[in-house]
Each structure stands twice: as structure tokens, then as C-alpha cells.
């Protein structure tokens, strides 16, 4: 693990909302391995199976079940555990689900974000808040060079619109309440397409590919993305060692962004951040995880928590080799 990150998080009380989800569970594992005391606040895992359950994470951190829309319970948890840092990841995270559950999507993604900001602003022990939104918070303009933080927010589908609204709420709270006087820092991170082991969500290319390869079914990729979906599928089949795909045309597909790229210039300039993995290396790590998951059904001694830790260490070592600042 990075000594630099260990110096930051060692011994810190950190609240992670959405810790039962794919990204939240991985973040909780990493923070725990860096020496932090992790308090998770979330509803039940969104999928069965899930990385959270398979890694037995509930036994390793403080696991609190609660709805992010319940500000009274959220406030009670913050007051009781006194976290110094809050990572907010709790969300309705699926674009296609937002079409069937638009109000729920707005209530969770916008109202839930406001609840975190509102509850935290009353306590001086909270020093930093990181809000995770999405690359889909930008208005779809098919920008080929990558969206920047100054580009127009807001999308047509409920999910994208909710993430744009969440960003506006963060900006409002930052200017109105979080300033030098109360010494509380707030940042938002607009995550792009994230892949990794333990993602079992529906309507996502890599999870659908892994589930199909495990069960031995054929599957059909989406049309295109920054990297062509076909490339991802064919690389996954190669890494898995067998399988095939076929294209199935959907008569009336729900609209998703055809071209979506992010510019990470700001992170490079201000945080000296750079990606440690190529997309092929990230996919290789993902396939490794799902192969272990598939094998675990016949060999219960395989520990998926340990595998997550190993993959985090491998990623950190790769970043160190590239002399990326956080890992050096």
C-alpha cells in the first residue's frame, strides 16, 4: 500500500455512504487496508451476488444499514461516529433504471446528496467531503476531446439530469456554507466508466460479459463507446479463454450517450494524478477476479477479500513503477 496514502488515512474515522455497492465496497476495502476506521452507511447490497457479501466486508468494518433519503438517521450516525472524512457514493446508479424509476432516481441522487451536505455542515469534526457523481452529469454534446469541469451540465435521461443537479447542489453548498471560516473542504469527482471485479449490475457491458462467460451463454454488445464495445467483449473472451458473442439488435432501445469521454487535465495538473492501468490491464484484473469467483463455488477456501487486497497492491505497485505521485 502507498505510504503517502497511509499517512493520510491511518487512524482516521471515515464514513462511506453506499459501501454495499460495487465502488463503495472496493473503496472501503482500500481505506481499511490503509489503516482507516471505516463506517459504512447504505441500504442493502443492490445485487445478488455482490462484492460486499462475497468479501464478507460486514465483519471488517462498521456496517450500518440506512436509506440515504433518511436525513434523521444519517445525522444520527454522523453525530455518533464523528467521521473526519466522508465519501458519498450512495446512488441509484443505472441509467436504464432511471427511466422506470425517475422519481426514486432524483430523490436518491439529488436529495441524498443534499442530505449528506446538510447533515455534515453542522459538525466541526467533519473536515472533508468527497462527493462521487458521474461523467454523465454533462449535457450530451458528443465532444470528442473529453468533457471538462467547465462544460455544460445536465442530461436528457433522468439519471444524467440527477447527477447534473447533484453537482449544482455541491457547488451551492460549497459557496454558501463551506468556506475558510468553517474549515471544511468539499470536492466532487465525476467518475467515468469504472470496471472491476465484483460488479454484478445489470445493463453494464463488462458485468454482462462476465456473467455470460460464467454461465456459458452468448451475449450481444452495445454499439460503441470511447473504446468500442466489441473490443472490450473480444478482449474479455480472449482473457477468459473461451466464449463467443453475437450482435442482437434491440428494436426500441433506451437512449444512452454514444460518445462520452472525460478530460483528466485538472487532476493531472492539480493532483499530479494519472491512470496506472491501460484499459486492457484493467480488464485483465477484472477477469482475474471473476475467474476466482467462478472457481470459489467449487473451492470455498478462495478468499475474495484477499484477492481484492492483492489487486489493490498490484495497482499501487504499477502506479509506483510509473512514478505517479500518490504511490511514490
What is the reported pLDDT for 253? 55
Q: Are 229 and 256 in contact (CB under 8 A)?
A: no
d(CA 86, CA 3): 21
Q: What is the pLDDT of residues 238-277, one digit of tens each?
A: 888 888 777 666 555 555 555 555 666 777 777 788 889 9
pLDDT at 46: 93
What distance in Å separates the CA atoms of residue 36 and residue 260, rounded to the nearest whole number?
34
Side-chain-side CA neighbours of residue 225 (13 Å): 18
pTM of full prediction above 0.75 = yes
Residue 161 scores a pLDDT above 60: yes
Q: Are 62 and 40 a contacting pair, CB within 8 Å?
A: yes
Helix or strand (DSSP H, E) at 88 = strand 85-88
State the pLDDT confidence band at 211, using cuts at 50, 70 and 90. Answer: confident
- In the chain, CATH 3.40.50.720 sits at 3-192
Phi-psi region of 59 (alpha: psi -120 to 50; beta: other; left: phi over 0): alpha
Model confidence over 52-88: pLDDT tens digits?
999 999 999 999 999 999 999 999 999 999 999 999 9
C-alpha–C-alpha distance, residues 173 and 16, integer Å? 19
For 288-319, the pLDDT digits (tens) are 999 999 999 889 899 999 999 999 999 999 99
Going by pLDDT thresholds of 50, 70 and 90, the confidence category of residue 223 is: very low
Confidence class of residue 50 from pLDDT cuts 50, 70 and 90? very high
Do 277 and 159 form a contact (C-beta atoms < 8 A)? no
CATH superfamily of 3-192: NAD(P)-binding Rossmann-like Domain (3.40.50.720)
Amino acid at each position: 500500500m502507498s505510504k503517502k496514502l497511509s499517512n493520510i488515512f491511518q487512524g482516521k474515522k471515515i464514513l462511506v455512504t453506499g459501501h454495499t455497492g460495487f465502488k463503495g465496497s472496493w473503496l472501503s476495502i482500500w481505506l481499511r487496508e490503509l489503516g482507516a476506521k471505516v463506517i459504512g452507511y447504505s441500504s442493502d447490497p443492490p445485487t445478488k451476488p455482490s462484492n460486499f457479501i462475497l468479501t464478507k466486508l460486514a465483519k471488517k468494518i462498521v456496517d450500518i444499514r440506512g436509506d440515504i433519503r433518511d436525513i434523521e438517521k444519517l445525522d444520527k450516525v454522523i453525530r455518533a461516529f464523528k467521521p473526519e472524512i466522508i465519501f458519498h457514493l450512495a446512488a441509484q446508479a443505472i441509467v436504464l433504471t432511471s427511466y422506470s424509476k425517475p422519481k426514486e432516481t432524483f430523490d436518491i441522487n439529488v436529495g441524498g446528496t443534499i442530505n449528506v451536505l446538510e447533515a455534515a455542515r453542522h459538525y466541526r469534526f467533519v473536515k472533508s467531503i468527497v462527493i462521487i457523481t458521474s461523467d454523465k452529469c454533462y449535457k450530451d454534446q458528443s465532444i470528442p476531446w473529453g468533457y471538462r469541469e467547465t462544460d455544460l451540465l445536465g442530461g436528457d435521461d433522468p439519471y444524467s439530469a440527477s447527477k447534473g443537479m447533484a453537482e449544482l447542489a455541491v457547488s451551492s453548498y460549497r459557496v454558501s456554507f463551506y468556506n475558510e471560516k468553517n474549515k471544511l473542504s468539499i470536492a466532487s469527482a465525476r467518475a467515468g466508466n469504472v470496471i472491476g471485479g465484483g460488479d454484478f449490475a445489470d445493463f453494464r457491458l463488462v458485468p454482462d460479459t462476465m456473467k455470460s462467460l460464467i454461465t456459458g451463454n452468448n451475449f450481444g454488445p452495445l454499439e460503441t463507446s470511447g473504446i468500442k464495445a466489441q473490443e472490450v467483449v473480444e478482449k474479455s473472451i480472449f482473457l477468459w479463454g473461451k466464449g463467443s458473442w453475437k450482435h442482437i439488435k434491440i428494436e426500441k432501445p433506451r437512449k444512452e450517450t454514444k460518445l462520452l469521454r472525460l478530460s483528466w487535465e485538472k487532476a493531472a495538473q492539480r493532483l499530479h494524478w494519472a491512470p496506472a492501468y491501460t484499459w486492457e490491464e484493467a480488464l485483465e484484473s477484472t477477469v482475474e477476479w471473476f475467474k476466482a469467483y467462478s472457481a470459489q463455488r467449487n473451492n470455498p477456501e478462495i478468499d475474495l477479500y484477499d484477492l481484492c487486497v492483492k489487486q489493490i497492491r498490484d495497482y499501487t505497485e504499477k502506479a509506483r513503477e510509473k512514478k505517479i505521485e500518490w504511490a511514490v
